[in-house]
Amino acid sequence: MPDSSPTPTFPPNLPLAPLTVISYTKLLANDVIESSNLLSACQNQGFFHLDLSSSSTGASLLSQSSQLYTLARSLFALPLETKQQFALQKGVSLFGYKPAGTVKATDPTHHPDSTEFFNIGKDDLFLSPPGSDVLTKKYPLEIQPHLPLLKSFTANCHALATELLIILARELGLSSNTALVNLNNFNQSSGDHIRLTHTTIHGGGSSSSSDKQSIGLPSHTDFGTVTILFNWQAGLQIESATATGQWEWVKPLPGHAIVNLGDAMKIFTNGHLKSAKHRVVPLPTAHGSRKTADRYSVVYSIRPNNNVLMKAVDKFEHAGETQVKVAGKFVPALLGETGGRDNNDKKQVLTAGEWMVQRAVQLGN
């Protein structure tokens, strides 16, 4: 972990998600086998471990994520009333502070979530007009000294995601290697953001029925393009690819990020790539004798540009659109099945900007 706090021991015999480990260095070297492995992981699991330990860009990201971990701890230590001043506005803004207990309960227990987070928008960092006070209005003053770090981390994560999108476009045989990149242009307005998270889990002993039912973050699929996760404490679970409703643990690997695809990629490829359901829960201890530590994570989410239409790219546009099913009751409308902005127009699709707001409202954040 980035500080001296004890890292909870990962208990033995927990079912682990069979995630592929992908080398970022090999991808940058255009390794044919590694590129094929990347595509396979994105088709079958929708998640993979990305080894960043042997590249200079990877080393920078690992260092920056550790610095942001420290920033996260200081931000979440602020009084709740201070954090609430920057609360994101449901249906209006995707950026700012989300308190715990506001995400829609999607698991059988219907327990409220115990995760608070700050979303710091890429557009706020890079596309705000000169002299704008958006950063001081939306976020605590404590982030101001860290703006260079936040900007550098944002740019580095987006560059990493761009490399992944180029490789996936090539492996999928799209007409252009930049077909997916063009939907996620860094210099255009989008929902891209850094998310700093803090999950408070009370208890965590394996013998506690209430702790077993605690939910850090309910089951969901991400609704962006690519998510890059840096975490040091376990708690992430992925729904089994072979047994619906069964959950498998993801054990954090030092020097690695956890990468997953969001629903946007599933739509753009008409179901050829996978967006997997996942959640955050307490990690049980080996003997029920110790409480689980609070969990912090640093996330970067790449989302399509706000003006992009949420439909399949040309190669997959006529490949049986009805096969695509992603989280959200309104998603079929995006594929022209039940209407988009206007229910009388069954071929109307939503823009990414419209879709992101609807998804956020649906999830309760």
DSSP string across 127-161:
TSPTT--HHHHHS-GGGGGGHHHHHHHHHHHHHHH
Strand order in the sheet with 256-261: 21-23, 47-51, 256-261, 226-231, 295-302, 193-199, 115-121, 96-98
Average pLDDT in the 93-102 region?
Answer: 86
- Whether the per-residue pLDDT at 325 is higher than 50: the answer is no
**Whole-structure pTM value:** 0.87
What pLDDT was estimated at residue 209? 40
The DSSP code sequence of 278-307 is EEE-PPPPSSS-SPPPPEEEEEEEE--BTT
| pLDDT at site 289 | 41
Least confident window among 42-51, 194-203, 255-264: 194-203
Q: Report how far apart, in Å, the C-alpha atoms of 100 and of each of 90, 157, 206, 215 are.
A: 14, 26, 23, 11
Q: What is the mean pLDDT of residues 296-312?
A: 97
Instruction: Give me the mean pLDDT over the 121-144 stretch.
Output: 94
Q: Burial of 93 by CB count in 10 Å (0-12 exposed, 13-18 middle, 19+ buried)?
A: middle
Number of domains in the chain: 1
Percentage of residues of the chain with pLDDT beyond 70? 79
Say whether pLDDT at 365 is over 70.
Answer: no
- At 11, the pLDDT band (50, 70, 90 cuts) reads confident
Per-residue confidence (pLDDT) for residue 220, from 0 to 100: 85
**Residue corresponding to tokens 């109307």:** 348
- For residue 356, being part of any structural domain is answered with no
Assess if residue 318 is contained within a domain: no
- Residue 231 CB coordination number (10 Å): 22
Query: For residue 158, what pLDDT is reported?
Result: 98
Predicted pLDDT at 201: 65
H helix or E strand, kind and range, residue 99: none
Is residue 134 assigned to a domain? yes
Relative orientation angle of helices 147-172 and 56-76, to the nearest 10 degrees = 130
Q: Mean of the pLDDT values across residues 325-334?
A: 43
Instruction: Look at 5 and 12; give whichever has higher pLDDT.
Output: 12
Please state the rounded mean pLDDT for residues 125-154: 95
What's the number of CA atoms in the CB half-sphere (13 Å) around residue 341? 9
Q: What is the CA radius of gyration of the chain?
A: 20
360, part of any domain: no
Band (309; pLDDT cuts 50, 70, 90): very high
Please state, in angstroms and as integers, the Cα–Cα distance from residue 358 to each residue in 32, 90, 113, 143, 363, following that order. Answer: 39, 10, 20, 28, 9
Residue 294: which pLDDT band, with cuts at 50, 70 and 90? confident
pLDDT surpassing 60 at residue 206: no
pLDDT above 80: residue 225: yes
Query: Does residue 340 lie in a domain region?
Result: no
Q: Report the pLDDT value the prediction gives residue 242, as an integer from 0 to 100.
A: 86
Range of the domain at 45: 21-308
Alpha helix (H) residue ranges in the chain: 24-28, 32-44, 56-76, 80-84, 122-126, 134-138, 147-172, 209-213, 263-268, 331-334, 352-363
> Is 16 a member of any domain?
no
The mean per-residue pLDDT over the stretch 30-39 comes to 98
pLDDT for 317 equals: 85
Using alpha carbons, list the distances in angstroms from residue 162 to 21, 28, 176, 194, 307.
Answer: 19, 11, 14, 16, 19
CATH number, domain containing residue 301: 2.60.120.330
Place 76 in a pLDDT band, splitting at 50, 70 and 90: very high
Instruction: Give the C-alpha separation, 47 to 232, whole Å.
Output: 17
User: Which pLDDT band holds residue 361 (cuts at 50, 70, 90)?
Assistant: confident
Q: How confident is the model at residue 24 (pLDDT cuts 50, 70, 90)?
A: very high
pLDDT value at residue 249: 93
**Stronger pLDDT, 129 or 148, i.e. the higher one:** 148
Average pLDDT of the residues in 11-38: 95
Tokens of 333: 């409308």
Instruction: With a cut of 50, say whether residue 205 has pLDDT above it.
Output: no
> Percent of the chain, pLDDT > 90?
63
**Would 131 be classed as within a structural domain?**
yes
What number is the average pLDDT over the span 323-338? Answer: 42
Average pLDDT over residues 266-284: 91
Binned at pLDDT 50, 70 and 90, residue 109 comes out as low
Beta strands at 226-231 and 217-220: parallel, antiparallel or unpaired = unpaired
